[in-house]
Structure 1
Amino acid sequence: GKEDQYATAWLELSNVTKGLNLEFRWIGPEGAIVFTNDVHVPDPRTQGAEYYSTFRLGQQFTLTETDYYKDPKEKPGLWKVEVYIEGKKELEMTFTVEKPPGCLIATAAYGSELAPEVQALREFRDGIVMNTKAGNYFMRVFNAFYYSFSPKVAELEAQHEILRSFVRIAIKPLLIVLSVGSRIYGLLSLNPELGIIVSGIVISSMIGAIYAAPALTLMDRILKADRRIYRKASLAFSLLLVSGLVLLGTGEIFYKPSLLMSGSTSLVLTTILLSAIFTFNLILGLIDLVKKHVSLARVPKRRTLAEGV
């Protein structure tokens, strides 16, 4: 099924007149048997009975031309399911495990998928985020957005060294952020769903402070926006953050994909924006403080009467 992330091979038997022994063999792209499942069809006679074997592939696989899942655990390529009845091969089914999408922008910046920085990004995605329900469904939304523009950015990087250098500089703080997130997730790994939520909040906060806050500060310097707008925005984003947590929690409890996607996305975006506004206000406060000290230093001291005499 699409949501339970299992591949299932079905076999329908009609007019069975005796007990039968079935064997389902799941064979990987290299020809090795990965999993076998023995099923006994009982007597008495069964009319039109269905028997099946289910194999958990992980997060993504392809059963038809239009039904795609990508799986970082299993080897990409053409898989087979062979069905044996009383030791004789009677049926063969095939499906394809797709290769996980690459980190196109980072790969173009560093020149290889094997670069340590690219590997670190992929390991965090495939080894941590994709192994949780909340993370898995967030990545579906993120991938739809990311892969809508990343191929074009990667093409531009291939043509301009200065752009590759800029991306490498921009990625370095992200690697530190993800390293912190990995450590937090590790501390809460006994409850992976809680771990990815807490880790996601911390990572989003740091991304907001490092990347979004400077952009917001620059935009404010240009537009000279009314500061009251930021207070109103903070309140609105806080309400959205709480709503995101509620949606995400409900999705976790009842395993509702739509709630998991909307809740995780809302949580990440609102956390980034709130962190950006908080950091922006902190930056403005520091700027005002520096200006105040500079202006005080420039004010000449008043001469006392004694000094005048």
Structure 2
Amino acid sequence: MTYGSEVSREVSFLRDFRDHIVLNSYAGQRFYAAFNAFYYSWSPGVAQYILEHPWLKAPVRVLLYPLLGSLLVASYVALPVVHLNPEAGVYLAGTVASALIGLFYLLPILLLIAYIAIRRERNISIRREVFTAVLALPLVTLAAALVFQALSIDFAVTIATSSYVLSTIAASAVASARMLSKLILK
């Protein structure tokens, strides 16, 4: 989904945003230290597999469109803030991207699980304490990232920013699933 594809201009914009904005921020550098280690541990193998099985290109491309859209929206939302405070802009971009990724990728899975449970007449409600913890975790990890960043503790910022992204993905999906299930089951 890069050079010569119908979204090459968007991908180029995102690369530029990453290279010139995100990676020029402390939080962005620390997040990418973890992200790159994770991503490049499996991505080359997957890319090779897709190359060897061309029929997979179209389905994978469709699966990547929501990711591309999420990153574009996050970048556009963050750009005005980046000019005022690059670190805040990068955190904002990460927050928006993570929340949208949770909605596009994790929420459908949660809704499918809920649908199957309802069809089997099982109650899968989340206890209030667990729900509250899932929603609080992004705030806790964001606060930790900011404290560790103020103290310039690289390894801790790497863990905290990664935890913030993952917890925001989970929180957006869980909160949306709960809201949708309440609307549907009324």
TM-score (norm 1): 0.53
Residue in 1 aligned with 2:79?
186
1:203 aligns with 2:100: no
Provide the C-alpha distance between the structure 1 equivalents of 2:176 and 2:29, rounded to a whole number of angstroms. Answer: 29
Provide the C-alpha distance between the structure 2 equivalents of 1:228 and 1:140, rounded to a whole number of angstroms. Answer: 34
Q: Which has the larger radius of gyration?
A: 1
Cα distance change on mapping 1:219 and 1:149 into 2, 3 Å: farther
For the 8 Å contact 2:10–2:72, the answer to whether it is kept is: no
Residue in 2 aligned with 1:274?
171
For the 8 Å contact 2:111–2:177, the answer to whether it is kept is: yes
Residue in 2 aligned with 1:213?
107
For CA contacts below 8 A with separation 6 or more, give which structure has more relative contact order: 2
1:169 aligns with 2:81: no
Provide the C-alpha distance between the structure 1 equivalents of 2:144 and 2:161, rounded to a whole number of angstroms. Answer: 8
Structure 1: 5+ residue runs without aligned partners?
1-105, 290-309
- What per-residue deviation string (whole Å, max 9, x for no partner) do you get for residues 263-288 of structure 1? 21111111110101112123323433
Provide the C-alpha distance between the structure 2 equivalents of 1:211 and 1:228, rounded to a whole number of angstroms. Answer: 20
For the 8 Å contact 1:185–1:192, the answer to whether it is kept is: no
Cα distance change on mapping 1:154 and 1:213 into 2, 3 Å: same
1:265 aligns with 2:123: no
Residue in 2 aligned with 1:99?
none
1:1-309 alignment, distance < 5 Å: 106-107=1-2, 115-189=8-82, 190-222=84-116, 224=122, 226-229=124-127, 231-289=128-186
Structure 2: 5+ residue runs without aligned partners?
none
Structural RMSD (CA) = 2.3
Q: CA deviation at 1:219?
A: 2.9
Provide the C-alpha distance between the structure 1 equivalents of 2:148 and 2:65, rounded to a whole number of angstroms. Answer: 33
Q: What is the percent sequence identity of the aligned residues?
A: 37
Letter in 1 for 2:81: L
Query: How many pairs are equivalent?
Result: 180
More strand as a share of residues: 1
More helix as a share of residues: 2
TM-score (norm 2): 0.84
- What per-residue deviation string (whole Å, max 9, x for no partner) do you get for residues 210-248 of structure 1? 11100122233345562134x443222234222212211
